[in-house]
Copies of this chain bind each other. A is one copy, B any other.
Amino acid sequence: MLFAGCLLLLASCQGPAPAPATATTTADTAVAATTDPLASWNEGPAKQAILDFVKRTATEGSADFVPMPERIAVFDNDGTLWSEAPMPPQMAFVFSEIKRRAPIEPELAKEPMVKAALAGDMATLSTGEHHDGLMKLLALTHAGMSVPDYQTTVRNWMNSFQQPKGGVGLGGATYQPMLELLTYLRANGFKTFIVSGGGIDFMRVFAEELYGIPPEQVVGSSAAANFELVNGVPTLTKTVEDIFLDDKAGKPAGIHRHIGRRPIFCGGNSDGDQAMLEYTTIGNPHPSFGLIVHHTDSVRETAYDAKPPVSGTLITALQAAPERGWLVVDMAKDWKVVHSR
């Protein structure tokens, strides 16, 4: 549901000013210098709850000990591991690609939805029940090319991204406290996965570098890639067939499809994550932990829940949190810093 509601944002989508690429950092090295594994979390109940859970599940002999292979942790990406405001980076990529390619691809430029995008014509892009125009743009930028070509395009673009209140490049959109949480979980034998409505091939380009999460531990929305030998060369071509939407009830389904066992730790930030929070925490034979990142910080980030800037309302999951025992992280109060750079 990456594009639901994105129409409001299209007008402001003029693309960031290109910025020079800087040295990359990884989740694991970013916190190597500190002895507090969650140094960017303020002292308080939220931080303590995480520390307590990890200690009791990862300490052999503890009544709540969970064997290492069962220590599966899953995290939504947009709004949970990095900023999705003012728009999810993948959406910025789509518009950036349309702008980059239209001048050099006459056939593409003739496409009505491309014209509409370039003209900022929201009415045309919003036609149809499923925002057909935006889905068309997604298809144009995410299908019809080989997997390596697509990955190269994302890689060439990613350092030009600018999160308005964060740092340069895609890494500048990531949340430092969440990077520390990922690293801390891994240091305690957890296997960390992304489970996001975003495109699986998109995220796999940078997940290892930004989050320390290898491609095989990225679960996302996807479509089939077709394999054939083209002039003797093995070629995987991205298509729009067999679309899998890794959102809402699709998230537990995606977890089952890719991981095959129940997580014991789940982090999300919207109602789209509620099903995987439920799957993780209700009736789990192991101790489990649900975490919701609540966007309460209008100064360092963007404050929203019921009315998000693009997609991903947080209403029902927030209501359910007390009963379910999910930790609601108050970004403004619980995080010492927000972005990793």
Q: Which residue of B lies closest to A215 (CB)?
A: B260
- Of the candidates B201, B232, B253, the one whose C-beta lies within 8 Å of that of A227 is B253
Is A297 in the interface zone, CB < 8 Å from B? no
Q: How far is the CB of A152 from chain B (nearest CB, A)?
A: 13
Give chain B residues whose Cβ lies under 8 Å from the Cβ of A186: none
Is A60 in the interface zone, CB < 8 Å from B? no
CB of B242 within 8 A of CB of A226, answer: no
Is A261 in the interface zone, CB < 8 Å from B? yes
Taken together, the copies of this chain in the complex come to 2
> How many Å lie between the Cα of A256 and that of B225 in the bound state?
8
CB of A69 within 8 A of CB of B214, answer: yes
Is A257 in the interface zone, CB < 8 Å from B? yes
Which of under 10, 10 to 19, 20 to 34, or 35 or more describes the interface residues of A? Answer: 35 or more
Is A196 in the interface zone, CB < 8 Å from B? no
Which residues of chain A in 211-243 are interfacial with respect to chain B, using CB atoms and an 8 Å cutoff? 214-218, 222, 224-229, 232-234, 236, 242
Q: Which residue of B lies closest to A204 (CB)?
A: B260
Interface code A197-213, partner B: CB below 8 Å = 1, 0 otherwise? Answer: 00011001000100000
CB of A236 within 8 A of CB of B260, answer: no
> How many Å lie between the Cα of A233 and that of B261 in the bound state?
16
A69-B208, A260-B215, A261-B216 are known contacts. Are A252 and B236 too (CB-CB below 8 A)? Answer: yes
Interchain Cβ contacts under 8 Å between A and B, 30 examples = A69-B214, A72-B216, A200-B257, A204-B260, A216-B216, A216-B258, A216-B259, A216-B261, A218-B260, A224-B253, A225-B256, A225-B257, A226-B253, A227-B249, A227-B250, A227-B256, A227-B275, A229-B278, A232-B282, A233-B282, A234-B252, A234-B278, A234-B279, A234-B283, A236-B252, A236-B256, A236-B279, A242-B242, A242-B244, A258-B258
Given contacts A229-B278, A242-B242, 8 further A-B contacts (CB under 8 A): A200-B257, A215-B261, A216-B258, A216-B261, A225-B256, A227-B250, A233-B282, A234-B282
**What is the interface of chain A, defined by CB distance below 8 A to chain B?**
69, 72, 147, 191, 200-201, 204, 208, 214-218, 222, 224-229, 232-234, 236, 242, 244, 249-253, 256-261, 275, 278-279, 282-283
- Closest A-B pairs by Cβ, 3 of them: A215-B260, A227-B252, A227-B249
